[in-house]
Amino acid sequence: MSEVGTYTVEDGGIGVVAIDHPPVNALGIVTRRAIDAGCRKFADDDAVKAIVLICGGRTFIAGADIAEFDHPPIAPTIHQLFDLIEAIDKPIVAAIHGTALGAGLELALICNYRIAVPSARVGLPEVSLGLLPGAGGTQRLPRIVGVERALELMISGAPVPATKALELGIIDVLAEEGGLREDAVALARTVIGKPAPRVRDRQDMVAPARGHPEIYADFLQKNARAFRGFKAPGNIVKAVEAAAEIEDFDAGMAREAELFAELLASPESAAQRYYFFAERETAKIPDIPRSTPTVAIDTVGVIGGGAMSGGIAMSFLDAGIAVTLVEASREALDRGLAVIREKYQNSAQKGRMTPAQVDRRLALITPALDLAALAEADLIVEAVVEEESAKKEVFARLDAVARPGAILASNTSFLDLDAIASATGRPDRVVGLHFFPPANVMRLVEVVRGARTSAEVVATAMALAKKLGKVPVLSRVCAGFIANRIMGERGRQADRLVLQGLTPHEIDRAIQDFGFAMGPFQMMDLVGLDVPGRGDTERTVAGDLVKADRLGQKRNGGYYDYDDQGAAMPSPVAARIIADVARARGIAAAGQVSSEQIVARLLYPVVNEGAKVLEEHVAIRASDIDVAAILGYNWPVFTGGPMFWADMIGLRKVVDGLAAQDIEPAKLLVDTAARGAAFTR
Ligand code: 3H9
């Protein structure tokens, strides 16, 4: 026995190394020591003829301990442990349940046999940490599934179910659900004395790819857009190529190690590893312990049949939660339902869900024209027009129909939640659930905590968002909450620069080169320039474009013109409008501005607003702001989000950059910079 390892010998000389190190049996030093001790013990014990490696708790090993990558390695390292295991001349069986991920799967691939329960999943998700499978995965997986399939699996990082893994040969046998240990021991008994297969000895699946560099070039070219800015995919491709090209397994391993080390030292991986923990941190609320009771949400009402409420309804339906969809008119309701149906049918056509799954979802919707239909709902989400008076009216009426204890949520993106809550006699049951469009796709939900929202309601909203597969970020009440408020600065500065003579294209290109999928003007054209609530107080380019009936891609173009295929082109009309507004407002041209300067001018103010959001305790922590920007606005994850990015470039530089733009830096930013400290460390 060790702290986390139990070593028992079962009938027939089967040594079982059982590891139990919650929460996910990550292969940190404690787990490594436990496996090392168990394997040495059974290797030296003549009575043991075969070994089973199994885990307790909810999963097999879910990977290397990601937190350890920031520290010097401690022996036995993963490689030392794996070498030890591979050198044991007794058959070893990996018994998998839950998820065998990263170094967990790599460990299983070193074992001679793999058995898994049908509910298990296996995968190599290192790419999402900006890494590659660095414990033999890039060399062994192609030897089992071939280079093309291995590339797909490692680049998507998505785990595959055990049944699929069996088909692919990644596992050898399926076990009975609930009978893994018995089945693994039984399998071990049958292989004693037989030559134990080793993945490293195989060539059959990689040899056909040898001498075909075009496989990798094509793959890179096909995925160029998706890989932009990321470092890991390129190195994964090189490592897989090495698996095919370098016949000598150990030489291939050396190449993998080199490529892994390069990624581990990269800023992209540092950012992505930071993000891994940041995303999990958002659920932790200092004054609301995890043990806070939550309310069961089985039936939900969604009000407002527009695109937003349709997406919100779909998020619940996807999670198997019944929705009553309420609209003011029959036409709007029918239209809303038709859109939902169409979206699901499109998904079915693309093979993303079965017709039965579509039917199950649609059967969960009850359409209604009267708020009275929401009398029994556990939660009601309002997504009507973004006007305080309209929202207050809905909340007052809801207060009258909703059962006591029901939670009333608003999807407002800018308004004062406390004012909305004041229209009810139960402000403690009112919370913001701010989804981002398209709500059924985007993973961010800002949970807005009003001045009087109860701890139970906040805890329920956070847990519910997770149940929907979303990432909840808690925000206090302020105009725009976290993501819209900070990213609004990017738009404001983009407007400023365009009035100083830069073209929308120059600005968008600089922002795209930074890593965003779209620049601010492309985004505005896509969303539409006539979105309500812009509330401009002075003459703006967007306002003049709307007056000229240029609403964006949907009508007559906006900042850009669009050809028949929808491709954007510079617009002489927009250029004239920009020049007119600049002249009317007396704004002088800025002269030459480099790409790097454009990025600083647009994004330092985002950091500054983030500092204010922190200073005002709107966000709990800097990493929550990063998660909101990444998931709400597709801020490039390989930079870690605005606050991590600012820390990486140095806060002093940000303060100086703001000063150069005549923007007053937030006190917290100035103080943190002066202390030589950082937001995210
Ligand atoms: C790797 O293996 C590199 C090798 O190729 C090469 C080495 C040389 N490490 O997600 P959850 C924590 S790279 C440390 O909420 P779920 C997590 O922070 C690794 N901690 O649960 C959280 O902590 P807290 C490749 C980890 O049920 C708690 O566990 N592997 C790790 O929703 C629960 O996590 C991966 O990338 C870890 N590896 O999902 C897999 N994993 O409670 C990463 C989890 O304090 N993990 N934690 O917030 C996952 O994808 C999910 O955690 C998993 C469970 C699917 C396993």
Identify residue 57 by its one-letter amino acid code.
G
Active-site residue (options: 106, 268, 327, 446) = 446
CA 231 to each of CA 237, 240, 453, 576, 639: distance values in angstroms, whole numbers, following the listed order = 11, 15, 43, 41, 12
User: Helices 232-245 and 249-264, interaxial angle, to 10°?
Assistant: 170
HSE of 522, CA atoms in CB hemisphere, 13 A: 16
Please give the Cα distance from 100 to 622 (Å, whole number).
Answer: 32
Please give the Cα distance from 258 to 243 (Å, whole number).
Answer: 14
Please give the Cα distance from 432 to 416 (Å, whole number).
Answer: 10
Q: Which of 510, 473, 475 lies closest to 601, judged by CA? A: 510
Q: What is the pLDDT of residue 472?
A: 98
62 C-alpha to center of ligand 1: Å? 6
Beta-carbon neighbour count of residue 86 at 10 Å? 15
Residue nearest to ligand 1 atom 30, measured at CA: 63
Q: Which of 23, 80, 29 lies closest to 55, judged by CA? A: 23
Q: What is the pLDDT of residue 483?
A: 97
Ligand 1 interacting residues, C-beta cut-off 6 A: 23-24, 26, 59, 62-67, 78, 99, 101-103, 106, 125-126, 129, 131, 133-135, 137, 277, 280
Nearest atom within ligand 1 for CA of residue 137: 5
574 C-alpha to center of ligand 1: Å? 49
Order of strands across the sheet that contains 50-55: 5-10, 14-19, 50-55, 92-96, 113-116, 173-174
User: Which residues, other chains included, contact 303 with Cβ-Cβ below 8 Å and sequence gap of 6+?
Assistant: 309, 326, 327, 371, 374, 380, 381, 382, 383, 384, 394
Identify residue 166 by its one-letter amino acid code.
L
Residue pair 614/622 in contact (Cβ under 8 Å)? The answer is: yes
588 C-alpha to center of ligand 1: Å? 52
Identify residue 493 by its one-letter amino acid code.
Q
Q: What is the pLDDT of residue 527?
A: 86
Q: Quick check: bond before 76 cis, omega within 30?
A: yes
Q: Please say if 148 is a catalytic residue.
A: no
Residue nearest to ligand 1 atom 19, measured at CA: 63
Beta-carbon neighbour count of residue 414 at 10 Å? 16
Instruction: Please list, residue by residue across 499-520, b when 16 or more beta carbons sit within 10 angstroms of its beta carbon and e when fewer do.
Output: bbbbbbbbbbebbbebbbeebb
Query: What are 528's two structure tokens?
Result: 């539409």
What sections of 49-132 are H helices per DSSP? 78-87, 103-110
Beta-carbon neighbour count of residue 133 at 10 Å? 32
Q: Which of 198, 201, 191 lies closest to 52, judged by CA? A: 191
Nearest atom within ligand 1 for CA of residue 65: 9
Q: Please say if 434 is a catalytic residue.
A: yes
Active-site residue (options: 484, 571, 608, 623) = 484
Active-site residue (options: 25, 266, 413, 571) = 413
Order of strands across the sheet that contains 299-303: 365-368, 322-326, 299-303, 379-382, 407-410, 430-435, 444-449, 471-476
26 C-alpha to center of ligand 1: Å? 7
Q: What is the pLDDT of residue 3?
A: 79
Tokens 């001498």 correspond to: 211
Q: Please say if 446 is a catalytic residue.
A: yes
Q: Which of 390, 455, 457 lies closest to 419, judged by CA? A: 390
Residue nearest to ligand 1 atom 10, measured at CA: 280
What is the enclosing helix (H) or strand (E) of 187? helix 180-191
Q: Please say if 484 is a catalytic residue.
A: yes
Q: Mean pLDDT per segment of 10 residues, for the chain of length 681 residues?
A: 88 97 97 98 97 98 96 96 96 98 98 98 98 98 98 97 98 97 98 95 97 97 95 98 97 98 98 98 96 96 86 97 94 93 95 95 96 97 93 96 96 95 97 95 97 98 98 97 96 95 97 95 90 69 93 92 92 96 93 94 98 98 98 97 98 97 97 97 89
Nearest atom within ligand 1 for CA of residue 125: 36
Identify residue 538 by its one-letter amino acid code.
E
Q: What is the pLDDT of residue 1?
A: 59
DSSP string, 376-445: T-SEEEE---S-HHHHHHHHHHHHHHSPTT-EEEE--SSS-HHHHHTTSS-GGGEEEEEE-SSTTT--EE
Residue nearest to ligand 1 atom 28, measured at CA: 23
Give the 3-state secondary structure of residue 299.
strand
390 C-alpha to center of ligand 1: Å? 44
Q: What is the pLDDT of residue 534?
A: 56
Q: Where are the beta strands (DSSP E) in 248-321?
A: 299-303
Query: What are 681's two structure tokens?
Result: 């460390």
Please give the Cα distance from 482 to 444 (Å, whole number).
Answer: 11
Q: Is 219 exposed, middle or buried (0-12, 13-18, 19+ CB in 10 A)?
A: buried
Q: What is the pLDDT of residue 533?
A: 52
Nearest atom within ligand 1 for CA of residue 157: 36
Cα torsion 636, 640, 641, 644: sign = negative
166 C-alpha to center of ligand 1: Å? 24
Nearest atom within ligand 1 for CA of residue 284: 48
Active-site residue (options: 434, 489, 571, 623) = 434
